[in-house]
């Protein structure tokens, strides 16, 4: 990890002199300025008037040192700010607890991401049947969840087989967040705070990635849950443009009590995979800096991508979102060398959704995403799904038609579903699952291929009729039919 800033000579383990030097630099810095410094055996970062110091070897020296600098500009408070530091001689107990928790749930490494109206119980069960080892609920609004019983009943369902399970909330009030979290702490393994949603609705509601402008608030929410829940608190974040800021942010969350961190390797200004690739280097830097389990999120379009991401970043697991919507068997090794059987997966999902009486609006959304390639190649199948009062039986007809025509060689598999993640497959070439889209479609191969925006823009220009654009058109049509 490379951080700019002056070098501070100091002995290991961390000494008060090291942090005192950082505090002096902080007092010389404008309010809120991030000013990382380095010493001979670690890194000391300053973020929002708080010093976070991490030694190079957390097993023999301080893992994290935190010192609030409020009032540090007051001469009478300078000495107290330094003398009251909690300098640990070994890894703090809460980091050991984080690994004990991770062990207790089986160290799951293939994870279903939280997706609004998409990662519901039926879809989680489908993904678990096909290799997923952990799953998150859809993002829930803490305020609605705490105050509205009907909202809770509609948006949160689970069962004994639905484990491990992390329940994710968005919030901007620590007390409201705790009130909501207490309602689920007996029904899940951890409560996750959404700090990564980049959408405009999150900006207007002041939650998700838009809380990155108020780090003290974020810290207070993590501390509130960590100190008052019987289960761990975890967080999902996006990156700052500068890696040193992302690392300091992650260290702050760890120090506040976060026991597992998911890092989406994009900034909040990047809304999805069609705009820019995730930066695995940022995720790798966070993993190297932290003493708790870390999940990576971004650029995972197939099982081969997932394994390569873990190898490159050193992370303890990978999370996939949109790619799973197209192929719920993404984490299934038996599907790793061939195109997934979308028709069979659709029938399996419909059976589960009917068992749990999932809302038809959610079911139809999954049908469109799972079958997008077939709908693009054979529009008459799409018309069945778009019927105003379509039934489960009619949706099953789509899969049965495909199975029968493929068996009779009247249909061939359309371009692979994996192509959606990085632009469409305009030329009609099938992309096998073992080939990473980012490796094949962008200059460079393997995990180290981290293309820049210029190359990415060229890919999108080459494929203006991408499956991603087709999906948006389908959703618009579905909205019109339902109106």
| Active site (catalytic) residues | 197
Beta-bridge mates of residue 8: 39
CA angle 117, 118, 120 (to 5 degrees): 85
Burial class (CB in 10 A: 0-12, 13-18, 19+), 426: middle
Q: Distance between CA 403 and CA 349 in Å, rounded? A: 16
Contact 202, 170 (CB under 8 A): yes
Sheet containing 50-55: order of strands: 7-8, 37-39, 42-47, 50-55, 65-68
Q: Distance between CA 83 and CA 292 in Å, rounded? A: 27
Phi, psi for 145 (deg, rounded to 5): -65, -40
Q: Distance between CA 369 and CA 389 in Å, rounded? A: 19
Phi, psi for 433 (deg, rounded to 5): -60, -30
Contact 260, 102 (CB under 8 A): yes
Contact 52, 248 (CB under 8 A): yes
Tokens of 24: 């002096």
Quickly tell me which residue has 């029968």 as its tokens.
404
Contacts of 34 (CB under 8 A, 6+ apart): 45, 46, 47, 244, 245, 248
Contact 197, 203 (CB under 8 A): no
Q: From 362, 370, 388, 398, select the one nearest 155 (Cα to Cα).
A: 362
CA angle 312, 212, 263 (to 5 degrees): 20
Tokens of 292: 């708790």
Quickly tell me which residue has 């029904």 as its tokens.
187
* Angle between the N-to-C axes of helices 392-407 and 360-370, in degrees from 0 to 180, rounded to the nearest 10: 20
Q: How far separated are the first and last CA of the chain, in Å rounded?
A: 52
Contacts of 75 (CB under 8 A, 6+ apart): none
């Amino acid at each position: 990890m490379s951080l700019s800033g002056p070098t501070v000579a100091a002995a290991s383990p961390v000494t008060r002199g090291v942090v005192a030097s950082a505090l002096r630099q902080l007092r010389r810095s404008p309010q809120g300025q991030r000013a990382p410094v380095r010493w001979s055996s670690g890194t000391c970062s300053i973020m929002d008037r708080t010093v976070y110091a991490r030694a190079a070897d957390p097993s023999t020296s301080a893992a994290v040192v935190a010192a609030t600098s409020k009032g540090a500009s007051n001469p009478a408070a300078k000495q107290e700010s330094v003398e009251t530091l909690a300098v640990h001689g070994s890894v703090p107990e809460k980091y050991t607890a984080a690994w004990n928790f991770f062990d207790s749930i089986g160290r799951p490494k293939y994870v279903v991401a939280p997706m609004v109206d998409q990662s519901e119980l039926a879809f989680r069960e489908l993904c678990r049947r096909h290799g997923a080892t952990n799953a998150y609920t859809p993002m829930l609004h803490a305020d609605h969840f705490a105050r509205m019983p009907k909202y809770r009943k509609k948006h949160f369902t689970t069962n004994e087989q639905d484990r491990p399970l992390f329940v994710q909330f968005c919030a901007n009030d620590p007390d409201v967040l705790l009130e909501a979290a207490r309602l689920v702490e007996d029904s899940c393994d951890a409560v996750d705070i959404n700090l990564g949603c980049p959408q405009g609705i999150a900006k207007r509601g002041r939650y998700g990635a838009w809380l990155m402008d108020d780090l003290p608030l974020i810290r207070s929410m993590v501390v509130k849950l960590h100190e008052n829940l019987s289960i761990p608190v975890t967080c999902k974040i996006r990156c700052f443009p500068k890696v040193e800021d992302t690392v300091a942010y992650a260290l702050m969350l760890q120090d506040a009590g976060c026991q597992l961190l998911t890092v989406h390797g994009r900034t909040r200004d990047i809304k999805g995979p069609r705009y820019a690739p995730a930066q695995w280097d940022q995720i790798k830097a966070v993993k190297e800096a932290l003493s708790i389990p870390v999940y990576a999120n971004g650029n995972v379009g197939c099982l081969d991508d997932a394994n390569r991401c873990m190898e490159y970043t050193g992370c303890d697991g990978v999370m996939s979102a949109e790619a799973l919507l197209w192929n719920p068997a993404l984490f299934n090794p038996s599907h790793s060398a061939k195109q997934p059987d979308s028709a069979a997966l659709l029938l399996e999902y419909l059976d589960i959704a009917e068992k749990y009486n999932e809302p038809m609006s959610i079911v139809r959304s999954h049908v469109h995403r799972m079958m997008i390639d077939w709908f693009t190649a054979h529009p008459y199948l799409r018309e069945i799904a778009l019927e105003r009062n379509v039934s489960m039986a009619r949706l099953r007809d789509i899969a049965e038609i495909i199975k029968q025509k493929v068996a009779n060689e009247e249909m061939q598999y359309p371009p692979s579903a994996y192509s959606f993640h990085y632009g469409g497959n305009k030329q009609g070439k099938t992309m096998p699952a073992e080939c990473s889209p980012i490796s094949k479609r962008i200059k460079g191969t393997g995990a180290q291929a981290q293309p820049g925006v210029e190359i990415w823009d060229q890919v999108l220009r080459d494929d203006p009729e991408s499956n991603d654009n087709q999906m948006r058109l389908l959703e618009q049509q579905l909205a019109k039919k339902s109106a």
